[in-house]
Amino acid sequence: MLKYRFVLLFLILFLAACAGPASKVDLREVEPIAPIMSEPVAPRTAGSLWTESRGGMFIDLKGRTVGDIITVVIVEKASASKEAKTETDRKSTMQAGITDLFGLEKYIEQIGNSSVSSASLVDATASNDFEGSGKTSRKENLLATLTTQVVEVLPNGNLKIRGNKTVTVNSDTQIVTLSGIVRPTDVSPHNLVDSKNILNARIAYVGEGVISDKQQPG
């Protein structure tokens, strides 16, 4: 019975080692954003110079209120490198002798080799050398376009945006999520904003499926 318990424990540990690492993306960020219901707008007067689909004659189409859509152009490039090298060298020398040992030091020189001197009975040399080096480098590129939604207008007028996109091809799913704060002045007339202009940007790009599983160890 004890033998079967050990076999069962081994199988559990083996399966746990083969399991891939869990995704670190907060699932709440992947959930679709609930649509925001806008208040009804009073109908325009007949013969007006602008249509009901526009907020006003002199207002552009840039997102500025809760529920508006802003397209984010994600261009993220990061690279880092580090190199270290260490060299140390240490050498020690020690000499010791006995010059006065109750008159017995004169007999020491008569023992063995005549070159032995009581003034240099101990002669030791020690050396220690160390040399080490290390180098690491990393480079990342992320290019994508993601449509986000204004979820909050801050007291200073800045816009808090959030959005996600899911693409599935041949049972392999790619998920892109983004959240952050943008200034209305950074939004172009075409309702575009660069990811570099987003404050506290949180950008995640993860994959789920056969291809993504094969890229993980285990």
Binning pLDDT at 50, 70 and 90, where does residue 48 land? low
Percent of the chain at pLDDT above 90?
A: 22
Whether 177 contacts 30, CB under 8 Å: yes
Binning pLDDT at 50, 70 and 90, where does residue 98 land? low
Q: What is the pLDDT of residue 191?
A: 93
Q: What is the pLDDT of residue 41?
A: 55
Q: What is the pTM of this model?
A: 0.53
Domain boundaries, the chain: 28-82+136-214, 83-134
Q: What is the pLDDT of residue 132?
A: 81
Q: What is the pLDDT of residue 187?
A: 92
| Beta-sheet strand order (sheet of 172-182) | 192-194, 69-96, 122-153, 159-169, 172-182, 199-208
How far apart are alpha carbons 151 and 145 in whole angstroms?
19
Binning pLDDT at 50, 70 and 90, where does residue 50 land? low
Please compute the mean of the pLDDT values over residues 16-38 and round it to a whole number: 53
Binning pLDDT at 50, 70 and 90, where does residue 27 land? very low
State which amino acid sits at residue 2.
L
Q: What is the pLDDT of residue 38?
A: 56
